[in-house]
């Protein structure tokens, strides 16, 4: 079976952390069409994934030149349009999870496939939360909508590799009740 090479598709590395994981139910932002979405936090040390993403953004730019040109005389430079690879140190300096990392926000109108490290479908929703580590299958494409031009990131599928500290400040029930110390119970 021949493997089709899609230059705009990337599978992230295993140290990618998922944040703002709306992967079970689509969510509407400001009345827009509901979408599934996740913020993928990629450590700056994962140079392979970062390079793959930059190459896929370039491929999406080249593939979408006519769309980006629109009714204009020329295609805007890649350096002046919106691109999805963002620097966490610059854009989220107060968020520890984004420190020393890049991030990409990926979304889709259709639900992503979600599997575990053994490629078995994950059905238990509690297994997938903001803070887990896993790989993501994403693709990049050009858009030109209402004067906004750029490259966007589509979410295909997710593979959970390992658990991580939950993000979002909410303690888990397990950690809230981790102690056997019930001295203050009913006191």
Domains of the chain: residue spans and CATH: 9-176 (2.40.50.140)
Q: What is the pTM of this model?
A: 0.86
Taking only the tens place, the pLDDT of each residue in 38-59 is 999 999 999 999 999 999 999 9
- Provide φ and ψ at 167, rounded to 5°: -95, 155
139, 106 Cβ separation under 8 angstroms: no
The candidate with the shortest Cα–Cα distance to 151, out of 41, 38, 75, 72, is 75
More confident residue, 5 or 26: 26
The candidate with the shortest Cα–Cα distance to 64, out of 12, 7, 104, is 7
Count Cα neighbours of 178 within 13 Å in the Cβ-side half-sphere: 5
The candidate with the shortest Cα–Cα distance to 9, out of 47, 63, 72, is 63
Q: What is the pLDDT of residue 126?
A: 94
DSSP 3-state of 91: helix
* Distance, CA of 92 to chain centre: 15
Taking only the tens place, the pLDDT of each residue in 67-104 is 998 888 889 999 999 999 999 999 999 999 999 999 99
Taking only the tens place, the pLDDT of each residue in 142-180 is 999 887 899 999 999 999 999 999 997 655 555 556 555
Contacts of 55 (CB under 8 A, 6+ apart): 7
């Amino acid at each position: 079976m021949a493997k089709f090479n899609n230059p705009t598709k990337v599978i992230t590395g295993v140290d990618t952390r998922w944040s703002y994981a709306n992967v079970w139910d689509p969510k509407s932002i400001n009345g827009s069409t509901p979408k599934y979405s996740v913020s993928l936090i990629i450590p700056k040390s994962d140079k392979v994934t970062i390079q793959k993403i930059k190459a896929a953004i370039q491929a999406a730019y080249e593939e979408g030149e006519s769309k980006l040109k629109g009714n204009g005389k020329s295609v805007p430079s890649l350096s002046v349009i919106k691109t999805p690879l963002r620097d966490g140190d610059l854009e989220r300096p107060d968020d520890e999870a984004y420190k020393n990392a890049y991030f990409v926000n990926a979304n889709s109108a259709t639900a992503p496939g979600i599997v575990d490290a053994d490629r078995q479908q994950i059905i238990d929703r509690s297994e997938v939360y903001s803070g887990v580590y896993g790989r993501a299958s994403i693709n990049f494409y050009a858009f030109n909508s209402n004067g906004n031009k750029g490259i966007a990131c589509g979410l295909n599928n997710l593979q959970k590799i390992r658990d991580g500290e939950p993000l979002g400040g909410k303690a888990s029930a397990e950690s809230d009740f981790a102690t056997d110390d019930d001295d203050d119970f009913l006191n």
